[in-house]
Amino acid sequence: MNSNSTTAANSKGSAPFETPDYQKILEEVYEEVKPHIGKGKVADYIPELAKVDPNQFAMSLMTLDGQSYGVGEEQKRFSIQSISKVFTFTMALKMYSKELYKRVGVEPSGSPFNSLVQLEYEHGKPRNPFINAGAIVVTDSLITHYKDEFITLENILGFIRDISQTPDINLNPYVAKSEMEHGYRNRALADLIKSFDNLDNDPTSVVETYFKHCAVEMSTKELARSMLFLANKGTDPLTGKEFVTPTQAKRINAVMLTCGHYDASGEFAFHVGLPGKSGVGGGIVAVVPGKMGICVWSPALNKYGNSYAGTLALELFTKKTGLSIF
């Protein structure tokens, strides 16, 4: 465990009714989840991700008062992949407010088979910002705003650095390149959306920018920290900076709960019971409104494409703390 966590855990010891001993709970979770780390399968659709050692695990949380707790390799950065969709959706929602919903919905999408069927049937309007089609539209809206794809990427990175208060966050260009070379399905989605006039910019540029922000690397500690504004009605509780309005924060959390885990959103809602978003890099972020941001990471995925050990760890954590919304 890192020293921060230990300090935090200690400082909590004296307030029995107010806060559970999160560090102790995380450690219990870690022990129980250990036999399961490595179970499942590392994402292999792009070579760069397939190289990752599956036997890794980290879990971090940060409470609204800035106390940080964690277990495992919580300083190690990994590919955040679809977790980046939370950040781009946040940026676009701030920019466009409700206008954004003209271009992308907020409803669950059903089975992956439907992705193209639905786009076709619903004339190029994706169901929500967390399926690939929706995230591509969101990225397009950012490029339209910033008028240039490189400035857009820089602003996405700037936003992530800002909410995580970590200036050196960056993307892994090898992962981005690998995605570009293998991401033909995402290109098909972008082209189809463009054919329905729901993309302002060149589909290839949009998809490349999308792949780049998916290739951002962060640690669980940084990601847990970056969820604080969503746990605190849109405002970073430590810096006081308002990133989105309380209503927008509520919207983001609601979409995470209903659409955050592909075809296992219902399972996640049941097992974990928190707004969350997973990525095929093995990371999952979760928000406990009014309380904390959480992130867990373990690269091997279950059959739905969500971290096997990570999902289990979150389930154990909400069970032990009673933090599930149900």
Q: Which residues are catalytic?
A: 82, 85, 210, 262, 280
CA–CA distance, 182 with 193 (Å, rounded to integer): 19
Question: At closest approach, how far in Å is the CB of 69 from a second copy?
Answer: 23
Nearer to a second copy, 62 or 255 (CB): 255
Q: How crowded is the C-beta side of 251, counted as CA atoms within 13 Å?
A: 21
DSSP 239-298: T--BSS-HHHHHHHHHHHHHHTTGGGHHHHHHHT-S-EEE-TTSEEEEEETTTEEEEEE-
Residue 202 CB contacts under 8 Å (≥ 6 apart), including other chains: none
Nearer to a second copy, 67 or 115 (CB): 115
- Single out the residue of 142, 235, 133, 223 nearest to residue 186, CA to CA: 133
CA–CA distance, 61 with 273 (Å, rounded to integer): 16
Question: At closest approach, how far in Å is the CB of 122 from a second copy?
Answer: 7
Nearer to a second copy, 300 or 323 (CB): 323
- For tokens 């707004």, the residue is 275
Binding site for a second copy (CB under 8 A): 105-111, 113-114, 116-118, 120-122, 127-128, 184-185, 187-192, 194-195, 203, 249-251, 253-255, 257-259, 263-267, 269-270, 273, 275, 289, 324-326
How many CB atoms are located within 10 Å of the residue 303 CB?
10
Nearer to a second copy, 75 or 111 (CB): 111
Question: At closest approach, how far in Å is the CB of 90 from a second copy?
Answer: 15
Nearer to a second copy, 203 or 283 (CB): 203
Question: At closest approach, how far in Å is the CB of 173 from a second copy?
Answer: 21
Question: At closest approach, how far in Å is the CB of 9 from a second copy?
Answer: 27
CA–CA distance, 96 with 264 (Å, rounded to integer): 29
CA–CA distance, 286 with 273 (Å, rounded to integer): 10
CA–CA distance, 308 with 54 (Å, rounded to integer): 10
Question: At closest approach, how far in Å is the CB of 136 from a second copy?
Answer: 12
Question: At closest approach, how far in Å is the CB of 289 from a second copy?
Answer: 5
- For tokens 């919580």, the residue is 74
Say if CB 163 and CB 243 are below 8 A apart.
yes
23-58 as b/e: b if 16+ CB within 10 A = bebbbebbeebeebbbebebbeebebbeebebebbb
Phi, psi for residue 59 in degrees, rounded to 5: -145, 135
Nearer to a second copy, 161 or 182 (CB): 182
CA–CA distance, 75 with 222 (Å, rounded to integer): 8
